[in-house]
Amino acid sequence: MMSHCTRRSEAGFLTLIELLVVAAIILTMAYLFLGGHSPGSRQVEKELGPARPGGPQTIPGRSIEAARNVECKNNLAQLRQALQMRSMESDKPPASLGELRLPPQMLSCPVTHNPYVYDPDTGKVHCTTPGHEQY
């Protein structure tokens, strides 16, 4: 049977190890989120491109921005498809994007929150955010 002191020192030892592990995890996460360069940052740099001036400089921030860019591209593709379907149903294009009855978050760029520009004469929709025009 173990004495009371032995159990107390073992419990204290385990608590110290757990505390050090938690501290190491927190420091590693802080290093990654606050701009430290991880071993995989070159791969991220290749996939996301260089950080743009005025944009997020950290890897998670740039990943979020890249995801919003993809969301903008997806919104525009869905708007174009909705416009094509609408033109198949009726002879004339809609006067505005509001006539398509889509969710409001699909009618503006998720990066800048500027509304998409729609030209009813041509039936085309564009994004005003720099770099998104080609979508």
pLDDT at 104: 84
What tens digit of pLDDT does each residue of 4-35 get?
555 555 556 678 888 899 999 998 888 777 76
Please state, in angstroms and rounded to a whole number, the distance separating the CA atoms of residues 84 and 87.
5
Identity of residue 90: S
Please state, in angstroms and rounded to a whole number, the distance separating the CA atoms of residues 105 and 41.
32
pLDDT at 24: 93
pTM of the model: 0.56
In a 13 Å sphere around the CA of 31, the CA atoms on its Cβ side amount to 10
10-residue mean pLDDT profile of the chain (135 residues): values are: 54 77 90 63 62 64 80 89 84 80 85 87 85 69
pLDDT at 16: 85
